Amino acid sequence: MIKPHGADELKPLFVYDTDQHHALIQEAETLPSLLLNSAAAANAVMLGAGYFTPLPGYMNLADALSVAEKLHTTDGLFWPIPIVNLTKDSSVQAGNRIALRDPNVEGNPVLAIMDIESVEQVSDEQIRFMAEHIFGTLDEKHPGVAVFTSLGNTLLSGPIQVLNFSYFQTDFPDTFRTAVEIRNEIIERGWKKVVAFQTRNPMHRAHEELCRMAQERLGADGIIIHMLLGKLKAGDIPAPVRDACIRKMAELYFPPNTVMITGYGFDMMYAGPREAVLHAIFRQNMGATHFIVGRDHAGVGDYYGPFDAQTIFDEKVPAGALQIELFRADNTAYSKKLNKVVMMREAPDHTPDDFITLSGTKVRQMLGQGIAPPPEFSRPEVAQILMDYYRSIGG
């Protein structure tokens, strides 16, 4: 099986030992508390689940700056995005042991216990430096920039012990899976070559066919559809609706034991190329051997070129830094000439009129009006779930 990133074995920071877990829960009630922001809480969940192997906790400022600028930590670990605990609370001191509380669950239960190795003040200039390297822009209209630059200027670093998986395990019991659980299921299914597909949206016909193409061309045993379950920008379709759409599509249109539907607890950053590399790392950690990267992967608006998330692997990822391999996808659309979904670059004899393409805005308008997109674009059963959703929110 493919090795985790930077380690021989997965390093989840969740405390699985029952006695130790119980003792830490009791200890947490005696410790000073810090209410995390959602970004830091999502990082804790990913660290706990093993997706961020081999990191032992939150990065210090030197590592965060090095990762932002050079894509590696000060000790040389390849990593594309700083994994940090930025806060506006300046009362924490180095050497403290604190309870990290969850901002996304009622009552703010303890999410993790952290040993504070350092407390560093980050200048506005350093925040902007990191943001510009991560997102490629400082435009406050970029949702990732807006979040990152508002987290605070106090950076807490050190190892953590994770005690729960926030709301993801309770709200998505059939979908949320840790990297540990996914690796175990890959072994149970007997899969050797595994393709991962990232999504934060319901899957249209083009996405479905892209997974099928990747599986067939790579000779893969199975596909892991791995959906983001955390916070999105306003207007994106909520996770329960996406989950229902994807499950219906897989149930009706894929053979049994070829698709694993799972999700992970992270907030979308919309960091385009850098986020695509992070996606590749945690897909390797969960046991996938191949990862689909398509057009405008993890992008938003027009901040990134359509295939920047592919070229970064050629330009910024050192040879041998990752074991997972890319499946590079072009724009996919239904060909009226061939009566099937194709990659546009593989149909050089086609004109734009030979494809059925619809903008996201147009699709949302149709669904909001109770009009199903054409079956060449969206499976009717999936379209019905989406129409019901839009009807429930008043279009």
Tokens of 101: 């509380």
Distances 332 to 13, 248, 345, 355 between C-alpha atoms, Å: 39, 21, 9, 9
Active-site residue 201, yes or no?
yes
The Cα–Cα gap between 376 and 342 comes to 12
Show the CA angle centred on residue 161, arms to residues 230 and 14, nearest 5°. 60
State the catalytic residue, choosing from 200, 212, 247, 328: 200
User: In 3D, which of 58, 24, 56, 29 has the Cα closest to residue 41?
Assistant: 58
- 355-356/332-335 β-pairing: antiparallel
User: In 3D, which of 387, 383, 381, 385 has the Cα closest to residue 252?
Assistant: 381
The residues with which 100 forms a beta bridge, in sequence order, are 34, 112
Answer for the pair 262, 184: CB distance below 8 angstroms, yes or no: no
Query: Across the chain, which distance is largest between two alpha carbons, in Å?
Result: 70
* Helices 380-392 + 239-253 axis angle, to 10: 160
* Count of H-run helices and E-run strands, the chain: 13, 15
State the catalytic residue, choosing from 96, 108, 153, 201: 201
Q: What phi and psi, each to the nearest 5 degrees, are found at residue 366?
A: -60, -45
Q: Which residues are catalytic?
A: 200-201
